[in-house]
């Protein structure tokens, strides 16, 4: 009896009339949830990544976003890959590998700088304006690149093309994260990756024709047309979504974006530094190493420039299923993206080192394809899962923009170093450097904090 009375006194102590201890505790939790910004971890808890709220599936919205993502990024990546596949033909015309490497580095640097800029404005500016501005700048730059002869001016306008194309990816990912989730979001991210592969294949076909100036003008025209088409599409899309968004907001208030300063600290505490390193290494591989693969095929494996372009296109097409393989590995490894990153970089490191003893050209190409697939899987973990996990904090475009900035900044440095390395240390030693770079990616991934369980 005394114990029962004591429990009643403890339960009622400090509680307003009519409230039990459980009710008071629930009230405090509700008040804390109202004060804390979206995605902020509670005191004493391991910092979890913010998760998006459930949204109703809408097939029309899904198809519209999926089509837009595929077409825009197809044109973007085809343009981006054009200089790579045209490099063997341009070298035969008298352009040096150092000059082309400088063009690529300026492109990467300005693309990365544009991504950093987009990271700050991408969560605020409407998608239709981002796509319109980026595609028009890229189109004008491609026209000028084909028409002028000065290597210095070509370098400048190719860099401007990179700056324009940087306005596309982060807003597209933000659009996917804002409107879709689950399988629909995975499909759209797959289409972005698939578009990049098809874009490289299309660029390789034009590169095999040998006339790089004509190919550049064709792509410039395509970009200009797509700028107008995407603006009209998104204007209509906004009107269609307007009523649906109002209904959703009436049912549940839209979470506010976490203040940038608070989010930056939170992000760095939950493994952001590790993913900056991982993204930098993956960016060097995806952009710098991939850029020099047609030249590697032409010079080291001794194929003609035209054949090298065709082989590169076939390899790009074969890599079309990398995103699906990466998603399979993600679910196989219990939805832990960091595990897939470690495995993928390790596989690439081994395959790059195997290129040295394998002298048969066709066997060498197969191993090279596996190495390329490995670092592609690591990229899928970054862009498909890691970046989108911050939708609850309202900072998807910021994370995508900042990581892409780091990716292309280091790719710019890598491109210059690789172009010099071809002439100084030769292809065999450069392959060893590529293998070592992938091994450093494995080491960086092991620095990811264990307290962050859901990545």
Q: Which domains are delineated in the chain?
A: 59-445 (1.20.1250.20)
User: Mean of the pLDDT values across residues 283-300?
Assistant: 88
| Closest alpha carbon to 345 in 410, 433, 282, 408 | 282
Q: How much of the chain exceeds pLDDT 90, in percent?
A: 25
Per-residue b or e along 145-169, where b marks 16 or more CB atoms closer than 10 Å to that residue's CB: bbeeeeeeebbbbbbbbbbbbbbbb
The yes-or-no verdict on residue 77 having pLDDT over 90 is no
Task: Kindly report which listed range (50-59, 86-95, 265-274, 397-406) carries the lowest average pLDDT score.
Answer: 50-59
Helices assigned H by DSSP within 209-255:
212-251
Q: How many residues does the chain have?
A: 455
Helix axes 182-208, 361-380, angle to 10 degrees: 140
* Span 365-369, average pLDDT: 94
Q: Is the pLDDT of residue 149 over 80?
A: yes
Label residue 40 left, alpha or beta by phi (over 0 means left) and psi (-120 to 50 means alpha): beta
Q: Across residues 424-436, what is the average pLDDT? A: 91
- pLDDT at 326 > cutoff 50: yes
What confidence category does residue 159 fall into, taking pLDDT thresholds of 50, 70 and 90?
very high
Look-up of token digits 């995508």: 400
Residue 345's nearest CA partner among 381, 302, 377, 390 is 377
Question: If you average pLDDT over residues 121-145, what whole number do you get?
Answer: 88
In this predicted structure, which of 153-157, 316-320, 359-363, 400-404 has the lowest mean pLDDT? 316-320
Lowest mean pLDDT among 62-76, 121-135, 234-248, 256-270: 234-248
Tokens describing residue 428: 């065999």
Return the residue matching tokens 């902020």: 40
Q: Helical H runs in 252-336?
A: 260-267, 273-283, 290-299, 305-318, 322-332
Instruction: Report DSSP state, residue 259.
Output: P
Please tell me whether residue 48 adopts helix, strand or coil conformation.
coil
Of residues 174, 195, 182, the one with CA closest to residue 58:
182
Upper half-sphere CA count for residue 162 (Cβ side, 13 Å): 29
Predicted confidence (pLDDT) per residue in 168-195, tens digit: 888 888 888 777 877 888 888 888 878 8
The per-residue pLDDT for range 330-344, each reduced to its tens digit, is 989 988 889 999 999
Confidence band (pLDDT; 50, 70, 90) for 244? low
Q: What is the pTM of this model?
A: 0.66
Comparing C-alpha atoms, which of 388, 410, 53, 420 is closest to residue 249?
53
Q: How many other C-beta atoms are found inside a 10 Å radius of the C-beta of residue 214? A: 12
């Amino acid at each position: 009896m005394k114990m029962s009375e004591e429990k009643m006194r403890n339960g009622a102590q400090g509680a307003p009339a009519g409230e039990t201890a459980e009710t008071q505790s629930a009230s405090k939790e509700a008040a804390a949830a109202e004060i804390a910004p979206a995605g902020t971890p509670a005191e004493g808890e391991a910092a979890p990544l913010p998760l998006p709220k459930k949204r109703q599936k809408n097939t029309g919205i899904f198809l519209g976003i999926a089509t837009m993502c595929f077409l825009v990024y197809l044109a973007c990546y085809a343009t981006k890959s054009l200089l790579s596949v045209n490099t063997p033909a341009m070298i035969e015309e008298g352009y040096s590998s150092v000059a082309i490497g400088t063009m690529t580095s300026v492109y990467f640097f300005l693309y990365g700088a544009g991504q950093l800029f987009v990271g700050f404005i991408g969560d605020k500016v409407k998608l239709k304006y981002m796509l319109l501005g980026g595609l028009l700048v890229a189109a004008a730059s491609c026209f000028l690149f084909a028409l002028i002869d000065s290597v210095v001016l070509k370098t400048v306008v190719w860099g401007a093309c990179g700056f324009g194309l940087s306005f596309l990816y982060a807003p597209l990912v933000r659009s996917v994260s804002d409107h879709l989730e689950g399988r629909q979001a995975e499909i759209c991210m797959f289409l972005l990756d698939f578009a990049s592969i098809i874009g490289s294949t299309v660029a390789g076909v034009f590169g095999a024709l040998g006339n790089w100036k004509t190919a550049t003008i064709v792509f410039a025209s395509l970009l200009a047309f797509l700028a107008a088409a995407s603006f009209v599409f998104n204007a209509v899309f906004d009107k269609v979504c307007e009523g649906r968004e109002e209904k959703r907001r009436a049912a549940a208030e839209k979470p506010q974006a976490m203040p940038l300063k608070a989010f930056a600290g939170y992000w760095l505490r939950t493994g952001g530094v590790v993913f900056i390193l991982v993204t930098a290494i993956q960016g060097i591989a995806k952009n710098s190493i991939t850029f020099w693969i047609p030249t590697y095929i032409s010079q080291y494996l001794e194929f003609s420039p035209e054949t090298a372009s065709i082989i590169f296109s076939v390899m790009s097409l074969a890599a079309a299923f990398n995103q699906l393989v990466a998603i399979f590995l993600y679910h196989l490894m219990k939805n832990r993206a960091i595990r897939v990153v470690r495995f993928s970089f390790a596989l690439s490191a081994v395959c790059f080192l195997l290129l040295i003893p394998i002298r048969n050209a066709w066997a060498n190409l197969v191993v090279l394809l596996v190495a390329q697939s490995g670092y592609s899987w690591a990229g899928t973990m970054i862009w498909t899962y890691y970046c989108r996990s911050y939708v609850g904090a309202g900072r998807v475009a910021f994370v995508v923009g900042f990581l892409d900035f780091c990716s292309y900044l280091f790719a710019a440095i890598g491109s210059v170093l690789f172009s010099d390395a071809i002439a100084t240390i030769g292809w065999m030693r450069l392959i060893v450097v590529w293998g070592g770079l992938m091994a450093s990616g494995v080491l960086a991934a092991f620095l990811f904090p264990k307290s962050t369980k859901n990545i």
